[in-house]
Structure 1
Amino acid sequence: MKTAAAVILTTLLLAACNTMAGMGQDVKAAGQGVTKAADDVKEKM
């Protein structure tokens, strides 16, 4: 029983790591988009 619980917990933790990595990539991409938009506005000024 303890082994099964440990396997399930490990699986959930690994899945959470993948989710957080994906979210980090999304946030990074959004930040790059904001930076590009700001640079475009700066050039037009």
Structure 2
Amino acid sequence: MRRTRNSIISLLALGFLAACETVDGAGEDIQSTGQAISEASQDAQD
């Protein structure tokens, strides 16, 4: 549980710290961060 939480926090931090030059780039970063969080939560449920 703690590992999953730390992974999610790290992914969110990376998503927010990533430099985006355009709005499209920001949308892609947010989408990939959301996908990574979804995958992490799915792994935790399994």
Distance apart, 1:33 and its partner CA: 0.2
TM-score by length of 1: 0.55
TM-score by length of 2: 0.54
Q: 2:34 aligns with which of 13, 31, 38?
A: 31
Counterpart position of 1:19: 22
Provide the aligned C-alpha RMSD in A: 1.2
The percentage of aligned residue pairs carrying the same residue is 31
Distance apart, 1:38 and its partner CA: 0.1
User: 2: CA distance between counterparts of 1:41 and 1:28?
Assistant: 20
Between Structure 1 and Structure 2, the one with more helix by share is 1
Superposition misfits of 4+ residues, deviation over 3 angstroms: none
- Unaligned 5+ segments in structure 1 are 1-17
- Unaligned 5+ segments in structure 2 are 1-20
